[in-house]
Structure 1
């Protein structure tokens, strides 16, 4: 009986730890979205891995510097971003986030709307979740 209780206790701890990691990743996603809407260069640089590969639904790929520059300059300007149907899977120091993104944009001063599916890949670097990869696709 003691062995069963020990097993259940260990299992409960691992489930709680997984939920904690998922919450941290969800928080990182929220920080990313806020930084994108605000055009906050420092926040975008802090949340992104130096090895970032940021893929657009058009097929365009940006590294960290190009991604940050496009957001900060207004070339890629998000006025609003709404995420739905988000899922998060954490495995060790890697997380995969999937969601649907609908947004109002003002890219280069031209108003528009986007509806995308997005997959984000996050890695834990020095205790913080950093965006390593992003790929969007048209819905």
Structure 2
């Protein structure tokens, strides 16, 4: 009986360690995405996102990977600052859901603005590396 319990404990710890490692990797990926968006780093944006990327804005506009990368790298959409708050990560096999609040100072078409949005990121492990597969931003209802 003791070997069975020991085996179950070891398996449980291994799963916890694996999940913890994936969670840490995802936290690093989200931070790298944040930095790449602020810097307009085309190569990093391509490396972090999947070719199948579906990128949704709070306005309802949808972009594919090429459109998303070009808009950020060209400076058409310029993130001057970006802070992420209240982040949660949920793992399910090779898929991860990351939710957070995003506050940022931006320049869209050169026009400065401040935004606060909710964001859902869907990451997928592809060839052993986490890639951004989908993103959807949404506006919070007005405070009453």
TM-score between the two structures when normalised by the length of structure 2: 0.93
Q: Which residue in 1 is equivalent to 2:131? A: 130
Deviation at 1:2, TM superposition (A): 2.5
> CA RMSD of the aligned region, Å?
0.8
Aligned equivalents of 1:124, 1:27: Cα separation in 2: 14
Q: Which residue in 2 is equivalent to 1:8? A: 9
Deviation at 1:133, TM superposition (A): 0.1
* Structure 2 gap ranges (5+): none
Q: Which residue in 2 is equivalent to 1:29? A: 30
Superposed CA offset, 1:71-110 (max 9, x none): 0121211011100110111111111100000001011211
* Structure 1 gap ranges (5+): none
Moved over 2 A (4+): none
Q: Is 1:108 matched with 2:113?
A: no
Deviation at 1:10, TM superposition (A): 1.1
Q: Which residue in 2 is equivalent to 1:118? A: 119
Number of aligned residue pairs: 139
TM-score between the two structures when normalised by the length of structure 1: 0.97
Q: Is 1:67 matched with 2:68?
A: yes
